[in-house]
Structure 1
């Protein structure tokens, strides 16, 4: 028996109250406005869209690579005529090779010889490191999977998303298990490359395909000094061997001092680099991530609806998004519920700190409204609230509608929210 759903209703909202004075944090975030530039445009890999100078550089690099007597292959893409892909058409092989070569060219400002040297170093490193086989290795970091660095879902444009959160290493015992000596650090770096390789395998590496990932880095509780050696080595590895693999970098839970740091380094960054950066302060995570990632694909710990392991069964049911202004009370009505049907719903509000309740209103005159969830205050995002969205189910004894109430009248802050529901009709 498959679930049946009714159309998602539009929220009914009350008027919003006016906002208050701007905080110091808001002022500091304005100093980094350039780093959240809306002018971001992902690089094209379509030959017809490239200027003549870049096409010449690409031809020069292809000529340099073709001089090598031995096959060169990076990320499973053969780059010279000596290594055609098994069973693939030459045009397809050439297009994929062009995408990879353009990544190295962009990393070296289209200087063909410099890009060629970088490419050879990358190929040598991959052979020595065993990068092609690392995806299938068991490296002993089960407790870090889905916590520290992991691929999870995709953004609104189809880019795979990699999440990074190193706050767990503020625990000294956890830190020692990962970085306690040189061998452990080397194994951790290998594990981090493994995560990156999984992200690369999710790319098409074709001119009109998805050719880069989105990177989300959580700065909450990150022990900066202790992780300096590891973070420097990770950054160096990725810069040298995964050029142009990140389409956008989103920093979340950014403390005020990082905001000041970003504003200080901003003049030294290229406009192209700055256009890839997005910065979200603490308490503004869900609103920022929803701009790029649908809420049913955002992990629950960041204000989304996606639980660990959920995506293994295929794409999730889409959620409806809405905003709640300061001073508003929103009612979500789910109509057309039959007698005997069971309705299940998930609801999440970025930042919470408002009241929520649910009631069932029968369609028949004279029937009593049933309180399904008594109105209660849901606290702001804390360790307790990080457990995930509100989830409940109700079986109707008579036809009617479910009404969810979200009351933000006690706050002046606008909040993003999302919900989804399933209605399972009664069996015959």
Structure 2
């Protein structure tokens, strides 16, 4: 029986994945907090352990293995680092419990287009014209905040931005079906229409690099495509900036596309989009993209995520 359903593995790849599965008892003993064995809301543990969904667990392990180019030692290291970070940062709280500044909430949404194929079903949108993204968001941003070792409610603006962005990412993950080849990854759209043109200074560059590294390290093989749309010609540096960071893999960079317009109807479907993203074609069913938002309360938490939040007293209810 195949270890995963999302893709067909070679004999060598299957063997490597099985070795990673067999190494789980050792991996779990290396965690800072062995009781925190969660990734993307799912339990990463030995078959037969409560709440371990083997099919989903295997798909998640495969993502870390692929991101490590099937280097077993590196994949094990990444898994340990990710579970340690998730426990310290309390990502589930950021996703499902915490409330953020209204300005941040206007900056991004998650949509779901059920009929879409090729991992274009779940999409996260970032709107840089809806918030004044200035240096103030990044001044004082600390690497230890990104590492989760500082979680003060009144942390730096950069920490608030990061917790909001992580929450958005986690909620989009809950809409994926890791065993479905058409919905095991998400697409992202970054809209720069009308965005203020800001200069990347040292504070912003350092914070941006830290955030990008965090996503690269802890959210592997989850991106189908990232579109930078409505990018003014004067902002042609955007793609070059990410390339110059030197921390995004070549395979991930290939999934980036810069567009100087906002028509993404050919990607996500005319019937799913309002005129502003539909080449001007009116769609009364979709007056604006915010009408397609999948709201936080409408997202079904993975079972183990719910259990952990209940144990923390973050949400009500008896353990599932």
TM-score norm. by structure 1 comes to 0.52
Superposed CA offset, 1:2-33 (max 9, x none): xxxxxxxxxxxxxxxxxxxxxxxxxxxxxxxx
Secondary structure in structure 2 of the residue aligned to 1:210: coil
Aligned to 2:23: 64
The CA RMSD measured in Å over matched residues stands at 3.4
Q: Is the 8 A contact 1:139 1:187 kept in 2?
A: no
Q: Aligned pair 1:101/2:61, yes or no?
A: yes
Q: Is the 8 A contact 1:153 1:297 kept in 2?
A: no
Select the structure of larger CA radius of gyration.
Answer: 1
Aligned to 1:397: none
* Residue from 135, 147, 159 that aligns with 2:121: 159
Superposed CA offset, 1:54-110 (max 9, x none): 112111211222333545221122222177344xxx7xx221111100110111111
Aligned to 1:385: none
Tell which deviates more after alignment, 300-309 or 231-240: 300-309
Aligned to 1:411: none
More strand, by proportion: 1
Note closer, same or farther for the CA distance 1:273–1:74 as it changes in structure 2 (3 Å cut).
closer
Superposed CA offset, 1:302-321 (max 9, x none): 3474325533699xxxxxxx
Q: Is the 8 A contact 1:164 1:216 kept in 2?
A: yes
* Residue from 257, 263, 273 that aligns with 1:298: 273
Q: Aligned pair 1:81/2:34, yes or no?
A: no
Q: Aligned pair 1:223/2:215, yes or no?
A: no
5+ residue gaps, structure 2: 142-155, 296-320
Superposition deviation, residue 295 in structure 1: 2.6
Q: Is the 8 A contact 1:160 1:199 kept in 2?
A: yes
TM-score norm. by structure 2 comes to 0.68
Aligned to 2:87: 127
Secondary structure in structure 2 of the residue aligned to 1:285: coil
| In structure 1, C-alpha distance between the alignment counterparts of 2:240 and 2:45, rounded to whole Å | 43
Tell which deviates more after alignment, 96-105 or 298-307: 298-307
Aligned to 2:306: none
Superposition deviation, residue 165 in structure 1: 2.7
| In structure 1, C-alpha distance between the alignment counterparts of 2:176 and 2:101, rounded to whole Å | 24
Secondary structure in structure 1 of the residue aligned to 2:92: coil
Aligned to 1:213: 186
More helix, by proportion: 2
Secondary structure in structure 2 of the residue aligned to 1:151: strand
Tell which deviates more after alignment, 200-209 or 240-249: 200-209
Q: Is the 8 A contact 2:122 2:186 kept in 1?
A: yes
1:321-400 equivalences under 5 Å are none
Secondary structure in structure 2 of the residue aligned to 1:46: coil
Superposition deviation, residue 193 in structure 1: 0.6
Q: Aligned pair 1:140/2:117, yes or no?
A: no
* Residue from 174, 188, 193 that aligns with 1:201: 174
Q: Is the 8 A contact 2:107 2:131 kept in 1?
A: no
| In structure 1, C-alpha distance between the alignment counterparts of 2:128 and 2:40, rounded to whole Å | 27
